[in-house]
Amino acid sequence: MRFDGTQVQNEIYVSGESPWPVGAGDWEARAAERLAPGPLGYIAGGAGAESTMRANREAFERRRLRPRMLGAHVERDLAVDVLGTPAPFPFMLGPVGVLSIAHPDGELAPARAAAGARVPFLLSTAASHSVEEIAEAMGDAPRWFQLYWVRNRDVVASLVRRAEAAGYAAIVVTLDTLILGWRPRDLRNAYLPFRDGEGIAQFTSDPVFRDLLPDDEDPLVAAGTMLAMFPNLALQWDDLTYLRELTSLPVLVKGVLTGEDAVRALTAGVDGIIVSNHGGRQVDGAVAALDALEEVRAAVGPEATVLMDGGIRGGADVVKALALGANAVLVGRPYVYALAVGGQEGVAALIQQLAAETDVTLALLGARSVNELDSSWIAESS
């Protein structure tokens, strides 16, 4: 299906007003008006002085696009295919936990919005709805499962097998959150949603995990049991061999920021790399994701599957990341703000806006397809 971003903006001009915020900053501002301090801090905040969050944006600001004129690009192709998962646009909705703190529908709302647009949705282990509930809500729409590798292999195996049985097309292992980062906003508010039983539905719906609980089904006991098995600093590269043997699905690792780790991950048998610093929520002072993307792509070569997240706020950012080596990008906070503002309809609007801005940017850049983008379309400013 041909998508034309100019139609989206023309509809707004013709109607005389936009029914939704336009632009990541507007979505965030509107969400800030609706969210309580604890949830807002958890969603918007980062680690330490939040310098990594700023670095993510500064890395995009340093890069400038190099438009080319008169390229006869009446139609543009935004579609990508990542490890057998087709997408109409070069972005996916990334895994964000505890979405029930943003909206009562939790993960169901963005999952349904993503399904409506056929945009792949990555479900977090730290979700308020189970893999089966999200699968039922999405039907045959594309979805991946993000795995937090807790300190219990039987629970890990059960989560992976359930995701595979429920039609998820890939497993994404997050490597950078084996313990929680130092997050001052959350510490000031003494806010940890898991403590109150939020975001643990994958565990409370899991038969292996439930066998570890006493018979009284106290939700606080379940939360405590999950939190006790969460820290897992003993995880090693060799453990990926176990996961590779456990499932036939493509396996990606998320949280890679160096070329040497990317090469090591591929050597361990994974199928793809997601360059990420967890949106600046884990290591304060870490390298910007976009800077790491260039290093990783150079290290693994042109054929490896490489995605990235961290700092994507608009269509120009999507295009820059693709030009610097990403096969596709993951969007995080922007869709969470849209969820807080308008539930499923808000997320659907955010998806449409981001797709439209990406298409318009591609048209003005002079490219016919996202697949033709490379570093020649980028200049770096001082």
Active site residues: 278
Give CA separation, 192 vs 151, 154, 250, in Å: 20, 26, 32
**Cβ-based neighbour number of residue 261 at 10 Å:** 19
Supply 358's token pair: 């990406």
- CA dist 26 and 9 (Å) reads 16
